[in-house]
Amino acid sequence: MAAVWFSLFLCFGFLFLVLEASIGDRDEIYRTCVKQCEEKGYVGTISITHCKFPPDDAHVNSSWYMQEPLYVEWKHLNCRSECRYHCMMQRETEKEAQGLGPVKYHGKWPFKRVFVFQEPVSAAFSALNLLMHFIGWLSFFILVHYKLPLRPQSKRTYYEYTGLWHIYGLLSMNAWFWSAIFHTLDFNLTEKLDYSSAVALLGYSLILSILRVFNVKDEASRVMYAAPVLAFVTTHILYLNFYDLDYGWNMKVCLVMGIGQLMIWSVWAGITCHPARLKLWAAVFGCALAMLLEIYDFPPYLGYIDAHALWHFSTIPLTYLWWSFIKADAIYRTSTQIRKMK
């Protein structure tokens, strides 16, 4: 059964890979539009100020910052992204008039912008996820450090996974922060930061699932379990950032790590007599369902809400459920340990 699930997800992964190579930016009219826009600084009647560069001899009179290489680079980046956006919108309007549906450009659906927000809905949902993780982590922090009893000598928590969940909370908030930034401003740098943070979180939560499910408590064994995953994830992040941002390969790595931990948790939820196993089941099942949204990819409804935005929405209640399981686990482990000591 597990093998079937696994291969099914991998197949969908390939489907996603095929969709990733975009039809939109291969269109000749679109390409010509972007090229002309970058040269002349306008699309139709829209003028793009970022594409207006002073002639070489004018540099002498312009402000110092305008000669800074970083400023010029930033202007070029803005020019390109503005041109791509307006050409895409123009092309999509033309195609709509011909009765043709939307296609992807540079791996993404044509979204309507709101102020500086390139994908406003996904950005807003990412911010809400960040907030939910913060609330969840804060209530976990208060629970283990102030509400539950502490070990009399060391004043440390009875719960053996406190530190690990703290790191999990930080990595989650970091990942959602960069996700919100990336959906606001899609640049090479923000994209890499978003991908790297997501991979780091996925890898770490895989380690955490192994440590919790197999009840690994002593430091030496924890390091032994974590080392191979940690080494792989680090290499993968370095590969994405400094060698090749390969979407297809990254998608496969993420799917394998994601499905891996879902299977570990679900098998454990099936055999354990943990009092919060139903919560765990619900969270794992919800995650698997939500993952389908990431795989079943549809164009944005009204130019705003696509499958990816819905996937970011679906993780908001799941985050609440997940932290609620973590807190239940802390209460359960603490009470069992105290009972053992008596």
Binding site for Zn ion (CB under 5 A): 179
Q: In this structure, which amino acid lies at residue 74?
A: W
Residue 48 or 305: the one with the smaller Cβ distance to Zn ion is 305
Alpha helices, DSSP H, located in 107-153: 120-142
Contact, 189 vs 166, CB < 8 A? no
Least Å distance, CB 119 to Zn ion, is 8
Neighbours of 85 (CB within 10 A): 22
Residue 179 or 209: the one with the smaller Cβ distance to Zn ion is 179
Q: At what angle do helices 247-271 and 219-242 cross, to 10 degrees?
A: 160
Least Å distance, CB 205 to Zn ion, is 17
Q: How many CA atoms lie within 13 A of 288 on its CB side?
A: 17
Contact, 113 vs 120, CB < 8 A? yes
Least Å distance, CB 183 to Zn ion, is 6
Neighbours of 19 (CB within 10 A): 12
Q: How far apart, in Å, are the Cα atoms of 2 and each of 8, 78, 96, 118, 214?
A: 10, 46, 43, 38, 19
Q: What is the rounded CA–CA span in Å between residue 252 and residue 261?
A: 14
Residue 168 or 176: the one with the smaller Cβ distance to Zn ion is 176
Residue 125 or 165: the one with the smaller Cβ distance to Zn ion is 125
Tokens representing 137 are: 């982590």
Strands (E) in the chain, as ranges, are 42-43, 46-47
Residue 122 or 162: the one with the smaller Cβ distance to Zn ion is 122
Tokens representing 315 are: 């993780």
Least Å distance, CB 310 to Zn ion, is 11
Least Å distance, CB 194 to Zn ion, is 7
Three-class secondary structure of residue 157 per DSSP: strand
What region, left, alpha or beta, does residue 275 occupy, with left being phi > 0 and alpha being psi -120 to 50 degrees? alpha
Residue 148 or 240: the one with the smaller Cβ distance to Zn ion is 240
* Residue number, nearest CB to Zn ion: 179
Least Å distance, CB 122 to Zn ion, is 5
Backbone angles phi, psi at 165, to 5 degrees: -75, -30
Residue 183 or 333: the one with the smaller Cβ distance to Zn ion is 183
Residue 9 or 125: the one with the smaller Cβ distance to Zn ion is 125
Residue 165 or 178: the one with the smaller Cβ distance to Zn ion is 178
Least Å distance, CB 92 to Zn ion, is 21
Least Å distance, CB 39 to Zn ion, is 33
Q: What is the rounded CA–CA span in Å between residue 207 and residue 261?
A: 8
Three-class secondary structure of residue 47 per DSSP: strand
Least Å distance, CB 198 to Zn ion, is 8
